């Protein structure tokens, strides 16, 4: 499930699984083409980024499996929950990222979905390589070691 953090006006939805499952090589901010009911549903906090991924198709990028729940007040003008949505990116970026995906066997996933200062929905996407099981274990070990160091330092301060 995507983590939701609220500032004064900014809603941010984070893909928590991304950093655990993938090694992030490069990030980029992109716009996303949405319907009005989808934007209202995002403002209501009904978004799930966990299974989402991005596919290059016909010189364009599409986000797949991004779950935006239907907006209750949009009677017959609603939207499909998991339809493919077009990402708004510069042509050069699309070409560069598409070639990297094909050549190096990488994946593009969304890291964050948020509203910018102007109230426009943006997606932070990342070019990633999937982690192996031993990489995940190594990261978990590092995290545990850091926690133990912090505990020791905190305990030492109180002595």
Number of domains composing the chain: 1
Q: Which residue has the tokens 């009904």?
A: 46
- The residue with greater pLDDT, 105 or 3, is 105
Q: In which band, very low, low, confident or very high, does the pLDDT at 31 lie, cut at 50, 70 and 90?
A: very high
CA atoms in the 13 A half-sphere facing the CB of 92:
0
Q: Is residue 136 part of a domain?
A: no
For residue range 119-132, list pLDDT tens digits in order.
Answer: 889 999 999 988 77
Using the predicted structure, report yes or no on whether residue 4 has a pLDDT greater than 60.
Answer: no
Q: Is residue 51 part of a domain?
A: yes
Both tokens assigned to 5: 């953090």
Q: Show the domain range for 61.
A: 3-131
Q: In which band, very low, low, confident or very high, does the pLDDT at 21 lie, cut at 50, 70 and 90?
A: confident
The pLDDT of residue 149 is 87
Q: How far is CA 7 from CA 58, 83, 88, 158, in A?
A: 37, 28, 25, 34
Please report, for the domain that includes residue 58, its CATH number: 2.40.280.10
User: Mean pLDDT score of the chain, rounded to an integer?
Assistant: 84
């Amino acid at each position: 499930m995507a983590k939701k953090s609220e500032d004064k006006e900014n809603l941010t939805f984070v893909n928590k699984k991304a950093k655990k499952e993938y090694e992030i090589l490069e990030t980029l901010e992109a716009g996303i083409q949405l319907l009005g009911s989808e934007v209202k549903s995002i403002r209501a906090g009904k978004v799930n980024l966990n299974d989402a991924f991005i596919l290059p198709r016909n010189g364009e990028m599409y986000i797949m499996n991004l779950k935006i729940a239907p907006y209750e007040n949009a009677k017959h003008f609603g939207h499909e929950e998991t339809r493919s949505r077009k990402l708004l990116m510069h042509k050069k970026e699309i070409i560069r990222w598409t070639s990297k995906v094909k050549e190096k066997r990488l994946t593009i996933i969304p890291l964050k979905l948020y509203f910018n200062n102007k109230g426009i929905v943006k997606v932070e996407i990342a070019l990633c390589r999937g982690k192996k099981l031993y990489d995940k274990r190594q990261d978990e070990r590092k995290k545990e070691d850091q926690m133990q160091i912090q505990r020791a330092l905190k305990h030492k301060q109180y002595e």
